[in-house]
Amino acid sequence: MKLLVANLGSTSFKYRLLELAGSDVRELAKGGYERVTDHDDAINQALGALADQGLVRSAADLDGVAFKTVFGGELTGCVLADESVEKALLANADLAPAHNPPYAAGLRSFRERLPEVPRVALFETAFYQWVPDYARRYAVPESWFEAGIRRYGFHGASHKFVAERSAELLGRHDLAANVRRLYSDGPQTLPGAPVRVISCHLGGSSSVTAICDGVAWGTSMGLSPQSGLPQNNRVGDLDSAAVPAAVRRLGLTIEEAERQLTKESGLDGLSGVSNDLRDIKAAADAGNARAQRAIDAFIHAIRHWVGAFWFELGGCDALVFTGGIGENNPWLRAGVCAGLADLGLYLDPDLNASGPAEAPLTTFDSRTQVFVIPANEELVVAREAARLLSTLTPST
């Protein structure tokens, strides 16, 4: 089965063309465009490049297009992306303004260009379908909950891949197989001690998720991708009284307050330097106190959620770092893991600084393993899309 995985950002378009045969996955092509102002044009360029390479010359050369859609409200899971999905994305664009409109536009573009090719949407919220009800609730009136004001969780494809891969690294291949089938079979009970993983997806957008036996138990993100840890330019967690207070004291409109919280906050607002952690770290190393404070606040927020989930899970077998920031910054991993010896985590400084990906970064006597697992969201999206499409295609 040949699938095109489309990843649309507010100003970017990236793609991977994958061929799946059973459990084997082969990458045929990949590419992308930054500073995109017209997603239709970017998609045309991508399809043109694939045609020039002789990989996708017509709809007959493609079995499906898969999307890592972010937020559809009550619509979640892995579904055929018809026009109702486009409408759900736009209906919830107020809570995911940087993500939903580009994906709706991308779905429409592929529908118009390749109407014969099935489109599949795997929602980022899908991994959190089995989070306990109490962990999905805010302490708000029931009418608010019924109106959809609850914790949904995001980065589901990334955290699901961590759940599967960490199980393999811990020697639990039976659990890894269960995780791979999670969306089709649901949670399965296995004999033996539970496997407790805390997954830190750290990048331009960041979140921490608690995972027990491959199933999400809780997440730092809530109603929207604006919540949880400080994001690159989005606020993260904020006291509910802050918005009306800022409106009164600064003379802001609700719309301007929302714009500042989603465009000028997060690491950008804290540091006053940039929304890119590389720039912030360089400024901090040069003596910029505000940049250093932004780094300290970011690490503090990560440790806050790691600590909360450590207690919730009753321990931690593996602490995993993924995403661009988590994978490429040993100094940040060291900051998150500092002072945890009493909990049985002993980070090895040399391994943390230069150890290979997916190898333990801890000393031999550490009860908790620390791993760097490179993100592979496209693989999860492709597998789930292939599974769904295979159920729709009669076997011969």
Say if residue 44's pLDDT is above 60: yes
Question: What's the chain's average pLDDT?
Answer: 95
Strands (DSSP E) found in 162-272? 196-201, 207-212, 215-219
More confident residue, 310 or 192: 310
Query: Domain spanning 2-122: which CATH class is it, in words?
Result: alpha beta
Tokens of 294: 């932004």
CATH homologous superfamily of domain 172-238+264-372? ATPase, nucleotide binding domain (3.30.420.40)
Supply the pLDDT for residue 150.
97
Q: What is the DSSP string of 43-109?
A: HHHHHHHHHHTTS-SSGGG-SEEEE----BTTB-SEEE--HHHHHHHHHTTTTSTTTHHHHHHHHHH
User: What are phi and psi for residue 65, nearest 5 degrees?
Assistant: -120, 125
Annotated binding site: 7, 14, 276-278, 324-328, 377
Supply the pLDDT for residue 281.
98
Provide the residue ranges of all domains of the chain, joining segments of one domain with +: 2-122, 172-238+264-372
pLDDT tens digits, one per residue of 286-332: 999 999 999 999 999 999 999 999 999 999 999 999 999 999 999 99
Equal fold, 2-122 vs 172-238+264-372? yes
Supply the pLDDT for residue 396.
42
Stretch 199-222: mean pLDDT, rounded?
A: 97
Do residues 333 and 306 make contact, with C-beta atoms less than 8 angstroms apart? no
pLDDT tens digits, one per residue of 74-85: 999 999 999 999
Region for residue 210 given its phi and psi (left: phi exceeds 0; alpha: psi -120 to 50; beta: otherwise) = beta
Annotated binding site for Mg(2+): 7, 377
Say if residue 48's pLDDT is above 60: yes
Do residues 371 and 321 make contact, with C-beta atoms less than 8 angstroms apart? yes
Q: How far is CA 31 from the centre of its chain?
A: 20
pLDDT tens digits, one per residue of 137-153: 999 999 999 999 999 99
With bands split at pLDDT 50, 70 and 90, how would you rate the model's confidence at 394? Answer: low
pLDDT tens digits, one per residue of 98-154: 899 999 999 999 999 999 999 999 999 999 999 999 999 999 999 999 999 999 999
Annotated binding site for ATP: 14, 276-278, 324-328
Stretch 386-395: mean pLDDT, rounded?
A: 82
- Compute the radius of gyration of the chain from its Cα atoms: 21
Strand partners, 322: 201
pTM of the model: 0.95
With bands split at pLDDT 50, 70 and 90, how would you rate the model's confidence at 393? Answer: low
